[in-house]
Amino acid sequence: MKGFGHFPLILLSLVLFALLPFLPFGVWQAFLLDVGFFVLLFTALALSWDLVARTGQLSLAHGAFFGLGAYSAGLLAPQLGTLPALLLGALTAGAGALVLGSVTLRLHGLYFAIASLAFSEVLRTLALKLPFTGGPIGLPVPPPFAGAWPLATYYLSFGVLLLATALSLWAERSPFRLAQAATRQSEAVARVLGVRVVQVKLWSLLLGSLVAGLAGGVYGMKTLFLSPYDAFSLGRAVEALVIPIFGGLYTTLGPLVGGVVLVSLEQALRLWIKEGYLVVYGAILILVILFLPRGLVGILGRRRG
């Protein structure tokens, strides 16, 4: 199927990110690694959102999957160690997705968005009220591998992006893409053509939530502290959908390009303009959406699938 034409570009950017810690940036090194970490993590989150959006489910629950992964991994890491905690964090997010998915099977587009928003709010309230989450005070999280390796969070983040990219490329190049596109464009017609719409939607939501949960787990290990308002932030769910819209929906390259450009732009603007950087950020977003309705990759002249 389509999407393979961009493969060299995708591969090149991945190699660049893999080598970033070893490039000679002098005093900028630490700052760039920080930016790189967030670029990788939020790009992965954006890819995981796009994977779900390809079925017509506009998720506002990605902040919640992220938070579920972050809290579960943060709570389990002291007992189980870094990797098992991350894995269980992802699975917790996946379990949440199955709950959300099975009650929203008949919902589409904006209706799904509203239900997923409610889901998100419920989970944040739980994180505030449950006895073992630290409530509004928050939850300290140990660094990965007991802090033995300074580059650990960066490469964990890179790993999450690799996984997100691999899943997205698979979905884009396999018949699954047709099932997702058919489901998005008309559920009734897709069903009459034999597409198991319910399964396609549930699988997409599950895969997307696993990646989002994993990203959340890594995030906690970087910030070393979680609070319900940060981990379950609606702003993060919005960022997860702004990046694919900015870069190009329903593709692998779109969220990748969008994430690299937008997250670095945000970090750079924050550095240069400090107060009010969001005004410039917002203006750029609006301009791109107005003049590039198919996102940055629309410039490449490829159609959507």
Give the interface with another protein as residue ranges (CB under 8 A).
Answer: 175, 178-179, 181-182, 185-186, 188-197, 303-305
Cβ proximity to another protein: between 191 and 270 the closer is 191
- Classify burial at 293, counting beta carbons within 10 Å of its beta carbon; exposed 0-12, middle 13-18, buried 19 or more: exposed
**178 CB-near residues (< 8 Å, 6+ apart):** 1
CB of 179 to another protein, least distance (A): 6
Number of Cβ within a 10 Å radius of residue 64: 35
Extract the runs of DSSP E, i.e. beta strands, from 98-228.
Answer: 139-140, 225-226
CB of 298 to another protein, least distance (A): 13
Cβ proximity to another protein: between 168 and 209 the closer is 168
CB of 74 to another protein, least distance (A): 40
Cβ proximity to another protein: between 84 and 109 the closer is 109
Using CA atoms, how far apart are residues 65 and 207, in angstroms rounded to an integer?
A: 11
Cβ proximity to another protein: between 190 and 211 the closer is 190
Cβ proximity to another protein: between 148 and 192 the closer is 192
| Cross-strand bridge partners of residue 57 | 109
CB of 113 to another protein, least distance (A): 20
- DSSP code at position 23: S
Of 260, 210, 232, 209, the C-alpha closest to 17 is 260
CB of 170 to another protein, least distance (A): 14
- DSSP code at position 125: H
Tokens, residue 47:
């890819």
